[in-house]
Each structure stands twice: as structure tokens, then as C-alpha cells.
Amino acid sequence: MSNINFSSPREAARAFTPKLAQFVDATLYPHIWADPALSARDRSLITVAALITGGHCEELPAHVRRAVSNGVTHEELSAAITHLAFYAGFPAAITASAIANATFNESESQA
């Protein structure tokens, strides 16, 4: 399990479930993420919130980075995580905060 690249679980799973990867590539990004009814920024906030609420920590770093690239600020992510503490639970928010902080620190050290 230590060989799994948790910064991109979809890439890590691609070799084992190529049909699932094809479905994601053919449906999620070109149809769902591209739907103009919501901005990419809003979709990123929703996705981060859903991952935190569902306890899907493995996918959180990639989506935190995507949220920032879609215009969500560190302050907004911090506020969203704090807000979610009251709905998803404090352990989920604390874990998400630690993951977001590590993701930002990793991104800054690579810059």
C-alpha cells in the first residue's frame, strides 16, 4: 500500500480499473465539470466539501490544488473547513485542515 500515490488516487487506480478511469475521463470532466450552470470555482468548493464530509482524505490534496487553480483562496478554504466542522464533525475538519496545510506547504516547497 505504500506504493500508492495518494496525491492522485485516480492515477493510482487507473491501471487496476481502466474502464472506471475511462468513464471518469469521458463523463466527469467534459460533461459535469464543463456544465456552465456552476463555475469551476463553485464546483471545486462543493467537491472539497463533499470529500471532507465523506471522509475521502485520499482525494483531498488533488482537489485542494484544483480549487486553488480554480480561484479559491487559502482563506476561503480555511473558512469552508471551519464551517464544515459544524456539519461534518470536528475530526473531519481537523483532518482536512492538516491535509490542506500539508498540501499548501508541499506546493510552496516545489515552487
The three three-digit cell numbers of residue 92, written as one number = 473531519
The three three-digit cell numbers of residue 27, written as one number = 463523463
Nearest Cα to Cα of residue 60 among 49, 72, 71: 49
pLDDT, tens digit, 9 for 90 and up, residues 68-105:
999 999 999 999 999 999 999 999 999 999 999 999 99
Cα distance between residue 21 and residue 24, in whole Å: 5
**Does the structure show a pLDDT above 80 at 12?**
no
Cα distance between residue 51 and residue 46, in whole Å: 9
Output phi, psi for 2, to 5 deg.
-70, -10
Task: Say which CATH architecture domain 9-110 belongs to.
Answer: Up-down Bundle (1.20)
pTM: 0.85
